[in-house]
Amino acid sequence: SRPILDMSYSRHFLDFQGSSIPSSMKKLMVTKLSQNFREAVTLQQDAPVPLPGDGDLLVRNRFVGINASDINYSAGRYDASVKPPFDIGFEGVGDVVALGLSASADYTVGQAVAYVKAGSFAEYTVVPARQAVPLPSVKPEFLTLMVSGATAYLSLKELGDLSEGKKVLVTAAAGGTGQFAVQLAKKAKCHVIGTCSSDEKGGFLKSIGCDHTINYKTENVESVLRKDYPEGVDVVYESVGGKMFDLALNSLAIKGRLIVIGFIAGYQNPTGLQPIKAELLPAKLLKKSASVRGFFLNHYLSDYKMALKQLLEMYERRDLVCEVDFGDMSPEGKFTGLESVFRAVDYMYMGKNIGKIVVELPHSVNSKL
């Protein structure tokens, strides 16, 4: 049966502030495959604003999240069949400004939503209603939970086997996802050790409950772990790769578990990898009955809504700190507008951020901020 297009519903294609949605917008596109984000990505000034289909929402993005894997995506590492040009950006928070007829059963114009979908680095994004997450308001803190919080929650729940008294090492602990791994491990009554690159980050980690911080710029992480945890650590939440992976592997206790959620140290290399001493891996794992497990959020989407619901409830109860870094301390100031996404990616790879890097997209229409 052919779907009937109800033109009487055209009022839904009006901006909720009363002014009509523009016909063109700014957006970022991958125009060349490269791990160098600035080389790969182009800012388009006059891309057409997409129209939502029957089951879709048109979201005016107010905040978009920066992820380490943005440069894996721009390098074409996730799907070799996709050729440029293609959209980029994984997550956004904004207002519904238009919607299709079926989508109107659950959503209304003006509603705040978050989503995880390629194409968020744009002023407007079409989001299938079934993939959207309704929010009480448009707040950047909600964005921290979409990918970073959910990754920590699901990986530790599914692979971490956390229980009281376990020793948990979180690498890049003050980053977008590390902050959640620290807090969730503490909620499971574990002893948490976090690595970071500055005393300021160490102070932040202590404020969210981290028991032991190690500044890898001024301390030898391996020596500290060997001295303070001679029996090893039970779980590692690892996102750095390279030498940090080797070090974490060597620090595992008997039956220890190392969860790989990324390897940011290698992403800017042409291959996306940094060498590890993998030839010794079988012997090391066997000697300790230890395991290394990979975690990629896309493989756990059946549990995603449940995880997000739990995280949102924890945040609403003020039981979870969702640290947002807008780049206020960066040389050129706050990350505002799509133009600043390039700076925000650089800032992440310089290891400057505390918490999740978020870019604000201001709009000429009163944005109610």
Using one digit for the tens of pLDDT, what is the confidence trace for 165-199? Answer: 999 999 999 999 999 999 999 999 999 999 999 99
Low-confidence ranges of the chain (pLDDT < 70): 1-20, 364-369
Could you report the per-residue pLDDT of 154-169, keeping only the tens digit for each? 999 999 999 999 999 9
Q: What is the pLDDT of residue 367?
A: 38
Q: What is the CATH number of domain 146-299?
A: 3.40.50.720
CA dist 269 and 77 (Å) reads 12
Q: What is the pLDDT of residue 21?
A: 82
Residue 311: name the closest of 162, 154, 176, 201 by CA. 154
Q: What is the pLDDT of residue 20?
A: 66
Distance from the Cα of residue 11 to its chain's centroid? 35
Q: Are 77 and 84 in contact (CB under 8 A)?
A: no
Q: How many CB atoms lie within 10 A of CB 194?
A: 31
Domain residue spans of the chain: 24-138+323-360, 146-299
Phi, psi of 159 (to 5 degrees): -120, -15
CATH of region 24-138+323-360, choose from 3.90.180.10, 3.40.50.10490, 2.70.150.10, 3.40.50.261: 3.90.180.10
CA dist 261 and 21 (Å) reads 39
Q: What is the pLDDT of residue 4?
A: 42
